[in-house]
Amino acid sequence: MLATLASNAILSKARAMYGRRLTEQDYKELLNCQNVSEVAFYLKNQTHYKQVLAGINENAVHRGQLEAKLKQKQFEDYDSLCRYEITVGERFAKYLLVHSEIEQILHVLILLDAGKPEEYLFELPMYLSRHASMDMDRLSKIRSYDDLLLVLDRTPYREILEPFKPVKDVPINFTGIENALYGYLYRNLYEVIDHYTKGEARKELHEIFDSYLDLDNYSRIVRMKVSYQCGADFIQSSLLPFGSLDPATIKQMVDAETEQQISEIMHRTKIGRRALDIPYSYVDEIPKRMLYKICRHNIYFSTHPAVVMMSYLFLVQCERTDIITIVEGVRYKLPPDEILKLLIIPNYRRKE
Sorted by where each begins, the domain ranges of the chain are 198-303
Query: Is pLDDT larger for residue 87 or for residue 267?
Result: 267
Give yes or no for residue 349 having a pLDDT over 50. Answer: yes
Q: Which amino acid appears at position 31 of this protein?
A: L
pLDDT computed for residue 53 by the predictor: 92
Evaluated on CA atoms 42, 97, 5, 200, the torsion sign reads: positive
For residues 148-186, one letter each, b for 16 or more C-beta atoms within 10 angstroms of the residue's C-beta and e for the rest, the string is bbebbeebebeebbeeeeeeeeeebbeeebbbbbbebbb
**What tens digit of pLDDT does each residue of 3-28 get?**
454 577 888 999 999 999 999 999 99
Q: Which amino acid appears at position 29 of this protein?
A: E
**What tens digit of pLDDT does each residue of 331-348 get?**
999 999 999 999 999 865
Give yes or no for residue 244 having a pLDDT over 70. Answer: yes
Give yes or no for residue 2 having a pLDDT over 50. Answer: no
Length of the chain: 352
Percent of the residues in the chain that have a pLDDT greater than 70, as a whole number: 91
Which string of DSSP letters, residue by residue, matches 217-235?
Answer: HHHHHHIIIIIS---HHHH
Q: Nearest-CA neighbor of 31 among 282, 250, 345, 279?
A: 345
**What tens digit of pLDDT does each residue of 181-226 get?**
999 999 999 999 999 999 999 999 999 999 999 999 999 999 999 9
pLDDT computed for residue 126 by the predictor: 60
Mean pLDDT of all residues in 48-72: 86
Residues 6+ apart with CB under 8 A from 209: 186, 189, 190, 193, 242, 243
109, 119 Cβ separation under 8 angstroms = no
Query: CATH topology for 198-303?
Result: V-type ATP synthase subunit C fold (1.20.1690)
Q: Phi/psi zone of residue 275: left (φ > 0), alpha (ψ -120 to 50 degrees), beta?
A: alpha
167-181, 240-254, 276-290: which is most confident: 240-254
Mean pLDDT of all residues in 267-285: 92
Q: Cβ of 216: how many Cβ atoms within 10 Å? A: 21
pTM over the 0.85 mark: yes
Q: Tell me, what DSSP letter sits at residue 23?
A: P
pLDDT computed for residue 68 by the predictor: 82
**Number of helical H runs and strand E runs in the chain:** 18, 0
